[in-house]
């Protein structure tokens, strides 16, 4: 599948990625704008989704989030969800200026953390005509409550405050591991499947991934609530893909958010856990997404 490297300006920060032209299409085609989840880079299987979409006649634009991978941005390894939502919108603006793209047929796809982002983008950006949200984070507050023992949450607040004061003094932001081999160890994603998937995928296909994010990223995660936007997505069509045994972005939270969405919408339950969607459950996650975009972005 032919693809080309692209870069675009996001209000002073250069973001980089790939563009996959739609196969077998003469003239302008729909486009799917895609980015990855918490700390992940585009090489972590986004190319396979983009290739599948392109083969079906859908252009795909994949980019690394600011501060990660091939994209610019400082401080490195910092995840600001509000900035990442804005970057989706910058990516849309870039995409609709490409000669291969029909500006009236834009879809957004996101997974995990970016699965939450596309709920927000779909609610606030009327250029978006179809949304696919895969294994989404829907509430940072509730997600952290589900992953962190209640008696340890106060300690995190103390760390956030100490880091804020250190940054005020001009010190570098404190960092924490994204994943840890010890589920009880400090990590932004403290689950065994997170450690296994990130470390294996890093070794197999994503050498630029780093097991590190700023502590402030966790604080901003705790403040982030895509759930509060979901009722505003309609009448834009929404597909939500939820893993039946998701312990990282808990299944029950995603299902509750889906219930708040208005029609037109569709729910697909994926077998397995959070990370199965990318590898052994790829077809189960890709096919419904592809078909949703084809249904709602055709001429």
Q: What is the pLDDT of residues 257-288, one digit of tens each?
A: 999 999 999 999 999 999 999 999 999 999 99
Sheet holding 4-10, edge to edge: 4-10, 13-20, 59-63, 29-35, 101-111, 128-134, 238-243, 265-270
For residue 262, the 8-state DSSP code is P
Predicted local distance difference test score (pLDDT) of residue 299:
66
Predicted local distance difference test score (pLDDT) of residue 280:
95
For the beta carbon of residue 264, count every other beta carbon within 10 angstroms. 15
Predicted local distance difference test score (pLDDT) of residue 154:
62
Predicted local distance difference test score (pLDDT) of residue 269:
98
Predicted local distance difference test score (pLDDT) of residue 159:
86
Predicted local distance difference test score (pLDDT) of residue 38:
98
Residue ranges in the chain whose pLDDT is less than 70: 1, 149-155, 299
| Predicted confidence (pLDDT) per residue in 217-228, tens digit | 999 999 999 999
Q: Is 233 within 8 Å of 123 (Cβ atoms)?
A: yes
Predicted local distance difference test score (pLDDT) of residue 2:
87
pTM score above 0.85: yes
How far, in Å, CA of 229 to CA of 256, rounded? Answer: 13
Predicted local distance difference test score (pLDDT) of residue 185:
74
Predicted local distance difference test score (pLDDT) of residue 153:
63
How far, in Å, CA of 89 to CA of 78, rounded? Answer: 19
Predicted local distance difference test score (pLDDT) of residue 42:
98
């Amino acid at each position: 599948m032919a693809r080309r490297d692209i870069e675009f300006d996001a209000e002073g920060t250069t973001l980089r990625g790939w563009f996959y032209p739609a196969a077998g299409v003469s003239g302008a085609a729909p486009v799917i704008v895609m980015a990855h989840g918490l700390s992940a880079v585009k090489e972590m299987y986004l190319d396979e989704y983009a290739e599948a979409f392109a083969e079906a006649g859908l252009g795909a634009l994949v980019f690394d989030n600011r501060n990660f991978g091939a994209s610019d941005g400082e401080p490195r390894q910092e995840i600001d969800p509000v900035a990442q939502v804005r970057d989706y919108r910058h990516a849309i603006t870039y995409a609709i200026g490409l000669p291969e793209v029909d500006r009236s047929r834009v879809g957004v796809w996101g997974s995990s953390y970016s699965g939450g982002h596309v709920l927000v983008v779909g609610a606030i950006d009327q250029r978006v005509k179809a949304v696919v949200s895969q294994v989404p984070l829907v509430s940072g507050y509730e997600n952290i409550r589900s992953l962190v023992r209640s008696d340890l949450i106060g300690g995190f607040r103390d760390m956030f405050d100490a880091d804020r004061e250190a940054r005020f003094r001009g010190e570098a932001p404190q960092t924490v591991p994204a994943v840890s081999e010890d589920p009880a160890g400090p990590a932004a994603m403290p689950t065994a499947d997170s450690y296994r998937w990130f470390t294996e995928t890093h070794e197999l296909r994503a050498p630029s991934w780093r097991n590190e994010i700023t502590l402030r990223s966790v604080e901003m995660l705790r403040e982030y609530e895509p759930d509060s936007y979901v009722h505003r997505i309609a009448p834009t069509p929404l597909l939500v893909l939820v893993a039946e045994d998701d312990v990282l972005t808990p299944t029950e939270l995603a299902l509750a958010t889906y219930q708040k969405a208005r029609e037109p919408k569709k729910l697909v339950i994926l077998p397995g856990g959070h990370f199965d969607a990318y590898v052994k459950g790829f077809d189960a996650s890709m096919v419904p997404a592809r078909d949703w975009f084809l249904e709602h972005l055709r001429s």
